[in-house]
């Protein structure tokens, strides 16, 4: 009997000696963690994507009106999307078709929300940003292809690859004013080296 008492306690023996209150507290903590992990899944709201027909080249204006309508009317509209290069349509992510229709109600240049819901996979390729190496250098002559200075020619003064911005100066402006535009809003029409070759 004395030999049995002297045996060292194993890991199982330690847990047996813990008071029941400590064990129950640990169990409660684990249950809380499990519940917290499950909570976000329960709180997710249904999200649907609907297409809104617009007048061509008026998509940006329609987006502004739809966004302000959604805020004013406190609608469950989560995002308004205008895929680059797509004309005549914008997409509204909302809780229901009714929310999307209310956001677009009486909006100038809006021609109505399509009743058929759009699957995210159908427009995913238009939305995912793919980083491309842009071959723009300082002193390049570029044409601005988007924004208020569309079709204006400008000279590149600085490039910020991390932000995806380029600083340009308009060629036809009397006073050179630096303007910051997105890299994908300009296209190179002439290189400084090419210009020197033409002069020779």
Full set of structural domains in the chain with CATH: 48-127 (3.30.70.940), 141-191 (2.30.30.30)
pLDDT for position 182:
87
Question: Are 168 and 154 contacting, i.e. CB atoms less than 8 angstroms apart?
Answer: yes
Residues in the chain: 200
CA–CA dist 70, 197 (Å, integer): 56
Q: What is the four-CA torsion angle of 110, 116, 122, 125, rounded to 10 degrees? A: 20
Cα–Cα dist 171/9, whole Å: 86
pLDDT classification of 40: cutoffs 50, 70, 90:
very low
Taking CA 25 as the corner, what is the angle to CA 20 and CA 27, rounded to the nearest 5 degrees?
Answer: 95
pLDDT value of residue 111: 93
C-beta separation of 61 from 108 below 8 A: yes
Question: 43 pLDDT exceeds 50?
Answer: no
Does the structure show a pLDDT above 90 at 68? yes
What pLDDT, on the 0 to 100 scale, is given for residue 94? 93
Distance CA 102, CA 73 (A): 8
71 is written with which tokens?
A: 């805020």
Whether the model pTM is above 0.75: no
Predicted confidence at residue 174, as pLDDT, reads 85
Mention every residue, 6+ apart, whose C-beta is less than 8 A from residue 186.
136, 142, 143, 144, 145, 154, 156, 166, 168
Distance between start and end Cα atoms, the chain = 110
- What was the pLDDT predicted at 114? 92
Tell me the average pLDDT across 108-126. Answer: 88
């Amino acid at each position: 009997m004395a030999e049995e008492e002297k045996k060292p306690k194993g890991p199982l023996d330690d847990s047996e000696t813990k008071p029941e209150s400590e064990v129950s507290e640990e169990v409660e903590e684990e249950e809380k963690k499990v519940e917290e992990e499950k909570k976000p899944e329960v709180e997710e709201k249904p999200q649907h994507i609907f297409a809104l027909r617009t007048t061509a080249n008026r998509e940006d204006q329609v987006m502004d009106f739809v966004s302000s309508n959604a805020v004013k009317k406190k609608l469950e509209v989560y995002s308004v999307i205008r895929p680059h290069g797509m004309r005549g349509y914008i997409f509204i992510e909302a809780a229901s078709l009714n929310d999307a229709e209310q956001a677009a109600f009486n909006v100038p240049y809006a021609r109505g929300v399509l009743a058929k819901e759009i699957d995210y996979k159908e427009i995913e390729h238009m939305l995912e940003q793919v980083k491309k190496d842009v071959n723009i250098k300082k002193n390049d002559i570029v044409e601005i292809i988007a924004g208020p200075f569309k079709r204006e020619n400008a000279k590149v003064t600085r490039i910020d690859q991390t932000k995806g911005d380029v600083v340009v100066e308009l060629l036809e402006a009397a006073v050179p004013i630096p303007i910051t535009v997105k890299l994908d809003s300009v296209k190179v029409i002439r290189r400084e080296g090419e210009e020197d070759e033409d002069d020779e």
